Amino acid sequence: MIINAVKAKNVLKYEVLELQDLPEEGIIAISGENESGKSTIGETVCFALFGRTFSLGPDDLDKVLRWGEHHCSVTLDFSVDGETYQLSRFLDRDGSHSARLSKADDLENPLARGVSAVADRLFEILGYEFDEFVESFYLAQREITTPHPHSVAVKTMAGVAPLEYVASGFEDEIAQFDEMIDELDAESEALRRELDELEFQEGYLMQLEDRKNALEAEINANKSAVQNLETAADIYVQNQPLIKRARSKRGRSRFWRFISFVLALAAGGAWFLLDKQPEMAQSQQLLQMLQQKVPNWQDAWIPYIGFAGIGFAVLMLLFWIRSASHSSKIENLRDESRVFADALEKARAVTPFVAEDSGDDEAAADSEKVADEEMNLSVVDELVRPEESAFAALLSRVEEVAADSSEVRAYVEPEIRWLRAQIDKKEEKFWVLGQEVDRELERVRQMARLTEVTDSLRAKTAEIQASKEKREKAIELLEGASGFVSSNFNRDIRDLVARTLPVFTQGRYEHLRIDSDLTVRVFSSDKRDFMDLDEVSSGTQRQIMLALRLALSEKLLNRRVQGDQFAFLDEPFAFFDEDRTRYALKALTSMSDKLSQIWIVAQVYPEGSDVEFAASLKCSRDLDILTY
């Protein structure tokens, strides 16, 4: 960057500062007594470029305004690598601060407006910011000191700043990762406590469901046994009168069958004797009896006796069939009734309800067992089940279909009540098991959810840990790269200083050693060893430091800056004697091809110097207007 013109109003000392058509090469000498406004020129350039000065920070910008004025402005024309620009900045006492950057040939279309936008665009054009500028191209103090090794500017010049910026970002990310891991660990611990509070047992749900299903099957079987018992008892009771009626009808049918048989046999025998054996004495006797007993008997009636025999034989056959029908019905009814015996056995096979749980349920089962042993009964809810002997007696009579309805009712009714009580108890237990299954299902769902979340947290923690380890490795690599870059930077600075230091010191000192913390030691030919700076004179120290600062400028030029560059040196020769000042001026004119425009501030310049100034600016305490 080369400054072509500076125009300012009400900035620091000057009401008007107007420097036009400034030379692009050579030394611009600024001279004058103390407090004449020499440093104001450099401060004005600094304010124009960065919106602040070396001596005034961003919070003290109101002090940039000339005493008693309400606003100030500055316009800086400069060129970078053949392209010319105009930078304008305005500031008032109320804190209003504006900036504008344009190309010199297109002022109507600015490249950027606003303080931040101009700063960003200016960095793209110049290649440096305020910190690098004051560490290299702008010497704004009498005491020339060693640049701070940890300053952003020096790190930027060395190329370490981007590496440290990335490493710092990684460190921030690692800190965030640690916080995230701590949060995830806390969440995992909370989830672990929830899991412990669930008291989840693997396989317990399956056990509950098996018990529930088995109990449901048992209840259904018990209900079926009760229903079968009721139905079979009803059938048995209903069949008893039917069997009795069928037996009565069968008896009558057998009686009339016998009578029909006798009559058919008598009529048939009479017909045979009268019709087929009339000569027999029995036939004659039978005929005489008929003639005597039957009025108007005629022999022509004899065939009818045969017909009567046939009729009685038919009747006998009919009664035989009817008797057989009643016998079959009786047998069917008995078979139906015998189903009651099977229902009795199945109902009797139903076992009493026994609680499976421990504690109170187990104690209740024990007391129930004691009561059963004392009473020889199974008691549930004060319902008495018929004794085994009563069951056996009834079963044997039912199998013979000999039990009457009263016996059946006397046994079945208490048995059914007892069975239903058992079913009620089992259904109550089934309901309890159902609730427990529902609770366990909820626990299983919670377990699955918590396990899924825990696995997710574990995977996330592993992922974050892996990312953290990658960044730690990256930081390690960046630190190694920073060390390598710093070593190269120090070597390059030593080489650059070696080019200017002999000129500044008239050849007495040529070599420097710069440690990693930028501690500077100079080689003495007389002592044939490196010396600390406090072992040389103050003037020599300042010569060495000026050479070091200019070496930093050269490094920044080579690394970041495009085209030629200006430098502003505010009283770099303070405490120099005239000879050292002459050698320094001569050295500055030939130090660098790219550092072509050098502004130098001094109270006076030594006479007899063979250095020709490209421009000279005279400042005075009495003047608040400076033009060129």
pLDDT at 371: 38
Contact between 419 and 222 (Cβ < 8 Å): yes
pLDDT band for position 277 (cuts 50, 70, 90): confident
Question: Of 49-53, 154-158, 291-295, 337-341, which range is least confident?
Answer: 154-158
The stretches of 159-301 forming alpha helices (DSSP H) are 160-198, 204-271, 281-293
CA distance 225 to 214: 16
Report which DSSP code applies to 460: H
Res 591 pLDDT > 70: no
Half-sphere exposure of 482 (CA within 13 A, CB side): 20
Res 383 pLDDT > 90: no
Res 172 pLDDT > 80: yes
pLDDT at 320: 94
The two tokens of residue 182 are: 């701590």
Which string of b and e fits 25-49 if b means at least 16 CB within 10 Å?
Answer: eebbbbbbeeebbbbbbbbbbbbbb
pLDDT at 523: 77
Domain 2-147+566-627 in CATH: superfamily?
P-loop containing nucleotide triphosphate hydrolases (3.40.50.300)
CA distance 553 to 572: 14
pLDDT band for position 518 (cuts 50, 70, 90): low
Residues linked to residue 512 through DSSP beta bridges, in sequence order: 522
Which string of b and e fits 436-448 if b means at least 16 CB within 10 Å?
Answer: ebeebeebeeebe
Contact between 499 and 168 (Cβ < 8 Å): no
Question: What letter represents residue 266's amino acid?
Answer: A
Res 155 pLDDT > 70: no
Res 304 pLDDT > 70: yes
**Residues 190-200, mean pLDDT to the nearest whole number:** 86
pLDDT band for position 374 (cuts 50, 70, 90): very low
What mean pLDDT, rounded, does the chain reach? 84
Span 88-99, pLDDT tens digits? 999 998 889 999
pLDDT at 375: 37
Q: Which residue has the higher pLDDT, 618 or 516?
A: 618
Q: Which residue has the higher pLDDT, 513 or 437?
A: 437
The stretches of 81-203 forming alpha helices (DSSP H) are 115-126, 130-136, 152-158, 160-198
CA distance 487 to 558: 17
Identify which of 265, 349, 382 has the alpha carbon closest to the alpha carbon of residue 313. 265
CB atoms within 10 A of CB 385: 22
Res 279 pLDDT > 80: yes
**Residues 320-327, mean pLDDT to the nearest whole number:** 93
pLDDT at 380: 41
- Sequence-distant (≥ 6) Cβ neighbours of residue 518 within 8 angstroms: 146, 147, 148, 149, 154, 490
CA distance 576 to 580: 6
Contact between 609 and 584 (Cβ < 8 Å): no
Percentage of the residues of the chain whose pLDDT score is greater than 70: 88
CA distance 351 to 419: 9
The full DSSP string for 386-398 is PPHHHHHHHHHHH
Query: First vs last Cα of the chain: how many Å apart?
Result: 20
pLDDT at 620: 92
pLDDT at 318: 94
Question: Of 34-43, 91-100, 583-592, which range is least confident?
Answer: 583-592
For the sheet containing 615-618, what is the strand order? 138-139, 565-570, 595-602, 26-31, 615-618
The two tokens of residue 515 are: 């440690």
Domain boundary assignment for the chain: 2-147+566-627, 356-380
Residue 20, burial from CB neighbour count under 10 angstroms (0-12, 13-18, 19+)? exposed
CB atoms within 10 A of CB 215: 19
3-state secondary structure of 401: coil
3-state secondary structure of 378: coil
pLDDT at 577: 78
Span 438-447, pLDDT tens digits? 999 998 999 8
Give rounded-to-5 percent helix, strand, coil for the chain.
Answer: 60, 15, 25
The two tokens of residue 359 are: 């504690």
3-state secondary structure of 299: helix
Question: Of 259-273, 408-422, 463-477, 606-620, which range is least confident?
Answer: 606-620
C-alpha distances (whole Å) from 224 to each of 198, 215, 283 are 39, 14, 73
Res 249 pLDDT > 90: yes
The two tokens of residue 466 are: 């892996």
Contact between 89 and 112 (Cβ < 8 Å): no
3-state secondary structure of 363: helix
Residue 193, burial from CB neighbour count under 10 angstroms (0-12, 13-18, 19+)? exposed
C-alpha distances (whole Å) from 270 to each of 203, 258, 260, 263, 303 are 95, 18, 15, 10, 10
Question: Of 77-81, 158-162, 318-322, 325-329, which range is least confident?
Answer: 158-162
Span 345-370, pLDDT tens digits? 999 999 888 876 544 444 344 444 43
C-alpha distances (whole Å) from 339 to each of 30, 221, 234, 334, 386 are 134, 17, 11, 9, 20
Report which DSSP code applies to 386: P
pLDDT band for position 627 (cuts 50, 70, 90): very high
For the sheet containing 512-514, what is the strand order? 512-514, 520-524, 529-532
CA distance 289 to 283: 10
CA distance 183 to 180: 5
Res 464 pLDDT > 90: yes
Identify which of 102, 57, 73, 86 has the alpha carbon closest to the alpha carbon of residue 9. 73
**Residues 160-168, mean pLDDT to the nearest whole number:** 81
C-alpha distances (whole Å) from 508 to each of 172, 287, 524 are 49, 193, 8
Span 520-565, pLDDT tens digits? 777 776 777 777 777 777 677 777 777 777 777 777 677 667 788 8
The two tokens of residue 612 are: 């020709």
Half-sphere exposure of 154 (CA within 13 A, CB side): 17
Contact between 177 and 576 (Cβ < 8 Å): no
Percentage of the residues of the chain whose pLDDT score is greater than 90: 46
pLDDT at 357: 53
